Chain A
């Protein structure tokens, strides 16, 4: 026997990401309160809970609706690919219609209870052999009756009966605001064992949906808010940020950056499973590094995947041709896939899911995102930080090489927000800098850090021509390139500096 005693078991919901944040699903044979403001996707969750049960676990469900009519629910949920009508005819789904009937005058006179509702729920559960029950929503239930005390008592009775019948249920409730009490009508007082809160907050003019498990009595769950998104054809997808474990294997195998001189600077190339950040001002050659990175992979018969958020397909292909790289042929040979997307087309959460999906489908050996900074403008700072952490950890787990670019806000020196958030996650940071010398702009490249490997510490000058990037000699008599204040040193001064550390 388990020395800790029996724990509360869980029912795997199969809702994407939710089973992770709930440490294995909803508490088995118990009722969980789902509370949220209007438009926080409660009804979608209630429907998806049953749908995923039918699709993935062959578990039937009963939907008790106090608000929308069954016809409306069938219609509204079709865009997620859930064919409720079909499931009803197959005996896997049963509605208990407790929605208001505005066409019939309903009056109260004297004492009553909700025995009929409970009898109907029990009847429906037995009819389809239900394992899951969704009730949507408590607020609509309360508004149909004037005697709140009776309704409260009856909800308690229903949840008790459901427990006895060994079904796992959820019940939705409305909140009036995002920071107030858990739900209206004080419902948390009687269905308080398990509470989940859905939020839909306006953050820096962007809508941000989050889910938080407030409590699961007698069992564990992940704490804090997790972003989620609602996608047509799929429903709710929870993005489990802390599902990031530092468990990935690490490889000693080196891969080419697509540029021989850069490989030399990195002591023989990038590690196969490293995350590389290329940072620089606009026009310093970040997209060029990406292009060469893709080309280097394709030449070794690797599969390369490029997400472009700054330039159109045509521009990218034309630029590549200008540097002697033929994206067209690479794509025809199946070595390259280019996904161009305008950052504003969707939310960052949706971008994240699309990127992950594309990686899962294409199974690349190397991935590049050009640029992370472009995605920064469509999200709040917090969402962006979460996105960066999530995508880097995802790529790391796939054990592919990932190269991201980041645009610095100033032309000379400086760091970007992107760098601040991912520099600790990256294995390799390459800086591209403008260097102003003798009244002309030149370009410098340096490898700032490289985990687990020796690397060149010099800041080298590089040129760009029709065959790509050419890295040359280090800037010897210049200081302050990284900080954006290049100053030339006179030979006398250099001599003195050199002598400072002479051991004699």
Chain B
């Protein structure tokens, strides 16, 4: 199975930095599963957030596999994060 994520951040703000670090650590940890991560900075390209209707930052969108899941927050609770994204 293949996983695809988009992480919407807002510049170099605290929550955005923490969220990016948390999600990168998670991907590192589950090395045997194929994951792609796209980081989108709303500060520099706000038009990209229109399509996914992003309101809050940071927001992680799991585009693959279906169904789509949106996670809002700095993703500090990594156990919850793993469970919600479908990793055991």
Contacts and interface: CB of A to CB of B under 8 A. Distances in A.
Interface of A: 96-99, 101, 103-117, 119-120, 122-123, 144-145
Contacts of B71: 106-109
Nearest to B58: A112
Interface string B44-71: 0011011001111111000000011111
B84 interface: yes
A172 B15 CA distance: 29
A84 B54 CA distance: 23
| Pairs of residues from A and B, 10 with the lowest C-beta to C-beta distance, nearest first | A110-B73, A123-B46, A110-B74, A115-B10, A119-B46, A106-B70, A110-B76, A109-B73, A116-B54, A117-B55
A107 B56 CA distance: 11
A152 to B, nearest CB: 14
Interface size class, chain B: 20 to 34
Contact of B56 (A97, A101, A104, A114): A114
A107 B54 contact: no
16 contacts: A104-B69, A105-B67, A106-B72, A109-B77, A110-B74, A110-B77, A111-B15, A112-B58, A116-B49, A116-B54, A116-B56, A117-B55, A119-B10, A120-B46, A123-B46, A145-B56
B8 interface: yes
A135 to B, nearest CB: 12
Contacts of B68: 103-105
A206 to B, nearest CB: 41
A101 B69 CA distance: 11
A119 B42 contact: yes
Contacts of A110: 15, 18-19, 73-77
A174 to B, nearest CB: 19
Contacts of A101: 53, 70
Nearest to A104: B68
Contacts of B84: 107, 109
B46 A122 contact: yes
Nearest to B56: A112
Given A107-B69, A109-B77, 20 more contacts: A97-B50, A98-B53, A101-B70, A103-B67, A104-B69, A105-B68, A105-B69, A105-B70, A108-B71, A108-B73, A112-B56, A113-B13, A113-B15, A114-B57, A115-B10, A116-B8, A116-B42, A119-B42, A120-B50, A123-B46
B57 A113 contact: yes
B87 interface: no
A110 B73 CA distance: 4
B56 A111 contact: no
A107 B55 contact: no
A112 B80 contact: no
Nearest to A115: B10
A111 B74 contact: yes
Contact of B53 (A97, A115, A145): A97
A383 B76 CA distance: 59
B49 A104 contact: no
A109 B57 CA distance: 12
B43 interface: yes
Nearest to B54: A116
B17 to A, nearest CB: 12
Contacts of B70: 101, 104-107
A145 B69 CA distance: 16
B81 interface: yes
Given A104-B67, A116-B57, A116-B59, A111 B73 contact: yes
A264 to B, nearest CB: 77
A114 B54 CA distance: 9
A114 B58 CA distance: 9
